[in-house]
Amino acid sequence: MVMKLDDLTNTNSHSGTYAEIIKTLTLVDPDYDTSFLKKVYSDIVCLFNGDFPGYRASNTKYHNLEHTCSVTLATARLIHGLHVQGQMFSSRIIELGLIAALFHDTGLIQTKKERGGTGAQYTIGHEERSIGFMGKYLTARGFSAEDISDCSHIIMCTNLTLPLTEIPFRSDEIRSMGKVLGSADLIAQIADRNYLEKLPLLFLEFKEARMPGFETPLELFKNTGEFYHSVARTRLAEEMGNVSSAALFHFKKRWNIDRDLYAESIMNNIKYMKKINEDCAESFDCLLKKIRRK
């Protein structure tokens, strides 16, 4: 049987995803101290589920807990792939990178006082909200201002409209980790087995956020192919320095699979999306039937 990306880890299982993240980290450093990461991961799960003091449960259907888990796993995989290639990160930077992955979309979660609508209304600028929450969390747990600043700059790399040249990284190592997270955020989404099925959910988030250029779900779907070719692929290759290619080295070392399963899954999604656009023309009903794959 030819293995596919979703055969390896079920990112709907936050416990299973955590176990694979830890397994991946031990390949980088067998003595890596995962105690704080375990605490943060547990708190993020509580946050999304509505069990964190002062916050409502996550109510965005696209940017949900599964998305955060899959991005964090992709971050760990790229860190490992780069390690295999000889690019090492310090334990401190690895921890900050994974913390940044776990917090990168927490700005879409509402406080108890924010009762109107859903967290999707904060889509534009949610990175700053995420950074604010992360800063309060880490400050309360004794992290230095320098750590929090570095973690903030890593999170900023998930903002598609922000050039990395505008982020005041303190070191090349922090910049490199920012590229890892920025890449992981993109490939985890577009490689998702259910990416096409989830696009109508993303449309609802964009609609509530009043983002221009997406008047109907069909329009969003048709524009996604162009988004990949003009924005995502270019950003991965140029802005992020093609660090996503390190995934190949992870899959070869961890699973003995000499293929980049993220790249394969992305190509399959984009290829199927093109076929649907050709088959369905202006029919959204047709599109909905096509994207419900077995």
CATH code of the domain covering residue 189: 1.10.1300.10
Residue 236 sits in which domain range?
A: 8-291
Residue 124 DSSP symbol: T
At residue 221, the pLDDT reads 82
pLDDT value at 294 more than 50: no
How many whole angstroms separate alpha carbon 205 and alpha carbon 208?
5
The count of other CB atoms within 10 Å of the CB of residue 279 is: 11
Tokens 């401190």, residue?
92
How far, in Å, CA of 85 to CA of 96, rounded? 21
pLDDT of residue 155: 98
| Mean of the per-residue pLDDT values of the chain | 94
Is position 1 within any domain?
A: no
pLDDT by residue (tens digit) across 111-164? 999 999 999 999 999 999 999 999 999 999 999 999 999 999 999 999 999 999
Alpha carbons 294 and 190: distance in angstroms, whole number: 18
Q: Using alpha carbons only, what angle is made at residue 135 by residues 131 and 141, rounded to the nearest 5 degrees?
A: 150
Contact 149, 174 (CB under 8 A): no
C-alpha–C-alpha distance, residues 35 and 137, integer Å: 16
Judge whether 22 and 79 are in contact, CB under 8 Å. Answer: no
Give the pLDDT confidence score for residue 273 in this predicted structure: 87
**34 close to 22: Cβ distance less than 8 angstroms:** yes
pLDDT of residue 145: 98
Q: pLDDT tens, 162-209?
A: 999 999 999 999 999 999 999 999 999 999 999 999 998 999 999 999
The per-residue pLDDT for 293 is 55
The reply to whether 31 falls in a domain is yes
Q: Is residue 155 part of a domain?
A: yes
Cα distance between residue 284 and residue 237, in whole Å:
32
Residue 150 belongs to some domain of the structure: yes
Q: How far lies 209's CA from each of 123, 132, 184, 185, 212, in Å? A: 6, 20, 24, 20, 9
139 located within any domain: yes
Torsion 188-193-194-199 (CA) sign: positive
**Domain total of the chain:** 1
Q: Helix (H, G, I), strand (E, B), or coil: what is residue 270?
A: helix
| Cα–Cα distance, 58 to 49 (Å, whole number) | 6
Q: What is the b/e burial string over 25-41, where b = at least 16 CB atoms within 10 angstroms of the residue's CB?
A: bebbeeeeeeeebeebb
CB atoms within 10 A of CB 282: 8
Those residues whose C-beta lies under 8 Å from the C-beta of residue 248, and which sit 6 or more positions away, are 81, 258, 259, 260, 263
Residue 42 lies in a domain: yes
The answer to whether position 278 is within a domain reads: yes
In tens, the pLDDT along 267-283 reads 999 998 888 878 876 77
Q: Are 206 and 123 in contact (CB under 8 A)?
A: yes
- Greatest C-alpha distance within the chain: 56
In a domain, 103, yes or no: yes
Q: pTM surpassing 0.85?
A: yes
DSSP 239: I
* Predicted confidence (pLDDT) per residue in 66-105, tens digit: 999 999 999 999 999 999 999 999 999 999 999 999 999 9
